Structure 1
Amino acid sequence: MAAVSLAVLMAGCGQHESDGSQVVTAGGVTKAEAATPKVFTENWPSRVPSAGLTKGMALPLEQYMVSYADEIAVQRARDVAEIACMRRYGFVDWRTEDLGTSPPPADNASNMPRRYGLTVLAEAQEFGYRVPASGRDSTPPPEQDEPDAEKVWRGAEGSEKATSFKGRELPEGGCSGEVDRKVGSLDVELVEQLSAESFERSQQVPAVKAAMARWADCMNARGHDVKTVWDAGDLASANAPTASSKEISIATAEVECKEKTDLVKVWYTEESAIQKQLIASHTSLLDRAQKSSKSTLEAAPAVRP
């Protein structure tokens, strides 16, 4: 298998980076023992937007969503379990990527800072439609064409199931399967599906359509021929490495016209009402998913090498 194929298959997983020798650091810790996930927490998003037209806003469905910190906590547990499993089969230098190095602009899947397009005037004036960089460099695992590692990770060799490696029995589904059973995952499918539904439905509400029309009139008065906030981003053609003066002009007008017409406030109010209806008709399923995610989160800290 080509190296790039293995890299795709094992995206987010560790790699076997040396000949397996036990290198001891000055502190007396082996290199293998030191190969645990690193978590960086600087510049993580706040729970609710802290600036702009969505400052302090949180939609009803967000109470059922998991935070960025929750996602990192579970991924760290999965990485710990992965490293421990791969070590058992001789990959003593196996490691995973650093976590938290590229935090998103929003704390959860609602993406409130940009759910209704640009909302922070200062950012629009400086970055146009681009998301301000808030991350740091990570140390990615090296890419290698490692058939043995693939076999242990997947519990398969090509299209055939593999049950052992060098005389040792493999877990069902390899180390990947072991990680899934030991840590599990967060149950977010339903809440994210309902969030997408409310977003689509909200754009058809008469009050939102009227506010969008007022916003479009404001933009047109400034020389920008658009009908919706999504047209504005397309008009800016933000493909260059940095924002052009044209992009800055459109982005700035977008936010200023939203403030003038109360588009964001109207949109948020109408979508909140839709989400409350969705919660009322899906309460038991949302509660079940939230309970499942809570169990996964509570068990995550107990996962050790």
Structure 2
Amino acid sequence: MRKVLPLALTGLFALSACQMADHDDPADEARRLNTMAALPLHAYIPDPASDGVKAVNRAQWVLGKKCMVRLGFAGFAILDTKTVESTYPVRQGELADEGTPGDDSPYGVVDPDLASEHGYHNRTPDTSAQPQEWPADQYTALTGSHGSGDSRFAHGHRIPEGGCLGEATRKIYGPAPKVTKVNGVKLTGSYSLAFQLWYESRTKASGDPAWKKADRAWSACMKKKGFTYPDPDKASVDSHWLGHGKPSDKEKETATADARCKLDTGYVPAVQSLEARAQKTLIRENKGRLDTMRAAVERAVRNARTVIGHEK
């Protein structure tokens, strides 16, 4: 296995051009490792842009449309499912705030230039599915999400559990997996096992003395730059970054220092190797369950394509 050296040792590579050629630039290495796809469990989570996932999304709306007509929403009879197959429902007037800070990578900001421009507001827009607003009564019927004062009936018909889209999901996937809780969040989807194991692997890896050592090195680097945080997670979720449409100068300065300290201390290679190892262990221990989950997803894709094929 190729050994990744800390940035502090890269000066030694000047002694030999061949040595330099054998090692990635620290920034390139950090960017390569700082993706979900670089971790083993990612293989068990389908790509939202894949044909299979798109087929399931389309089939959910095909079945959901029939359910909505059954519940008395006559206008859905002429709904073109192609116009909504890449959307997810949002209650009218409650679109999520796109200015919320966040990052889609496992270890946060690693590009100082990007951080100096966007701070911690680095979430990549999800182009696989876009929110679409629906009136409150239709939203409730579609999702089964009941707000204060919402009825559990639509035009005298009881709304199915999870709404029409939830009913459609059960028809495509079969009975929902047992509900599990991860860090207080309920997981009910077909990929809940993979997400549960992902959380467990992070918990295990972050408790490793080597991870804590990486946190301390990063924190010491940040302190020299005038920022006091025990680890990168605490910096990225600082409450001062919330409630602003654009990152403040302070946020940009903090995020830039964060990224530079990750590079200077070799943070990402250090912690990623620990998390990858933890995930490989959990995959071995849960191989049968993961294979069963994958087979269920493959059946769901076949079911979805059958539904689409019978659409009228």
Mapping 1:1-305, distance limit 5 Å: 52=31, 54=33, 58-69=38-49, 71-87=53-69, 91-94=73-76, 95=79, 98=84, 100=86, 113-132=104-123, 134=125, 139-144=132-137, 175=164, 179-184=168-173, 187-235=190-238, 237-239=240-242, 240-304=244-308, 305=311
TM-score, scaled to structure 1: 0.64
- List per-residue Cα deviations over 1:153-199 (Å, max 9, x = no partner): 89xxx679x9x96xxxx998785675244322762111110100111
Partner of 1:106: none
On the 8 A contact 1:236/1:247 being kept in 2, the answer is no
Measured in 2, the distance between the counterparts of 1:233 and 1:297 equals 37
What are the ranges of 5 or more consecutive residues in structure 1 without an aligned counterpart? Answer: 1-48, 103-110
Q: CA deviation at 1:73?
A: 3.8
Q: Secondary structure at the match of 1:67?
A: coil
Q: Quick one: which amino acid aligns to residue 31 of structure 2?
A: G
**Paired amino acid for 1:120:** D
CA RMSD in angstroms, aligned pairs only: 3.9
- Structure 1 position 134, deviation (Å): 3.2
Q: Number of residues paired by the alignment?
A: 238
Q: What fraction of aligned residue pairs are identical, expressed as a percent?
A: 27
Unaligned runs of 5+ in 2: 1-27, 89-101, 146-150, 175-188
Q: 1:193 to 1:55 in 2, by over 3 A?
A: closer
CA distance change for structure 1 residues 140 and 98 in 2, over 3 Å: closer, same or farther? farther
Kindly report structure 1 stretches of 4+ aligned residues shifted beyond 6 Å: 170-174
Distance 1:201 1:91, change over 3 A: same
Query: 1:59 deviation in Å?
Result: 0.8
The Cα shift of 1:301 comes to 2.6
C-alpha spacing 1:112/1:142, structure 2 compared with 1 (3 Å):
closer
* Residues in 1 aligned to 2:117 and 2:258: alpha-carbon distance in whole angstroms: 14
Superimposed CA distance per residue, residues 255-284 of structure 1 (whole angstroms, 9 cap, x where no aligned partner): 111011111111110111111111111110
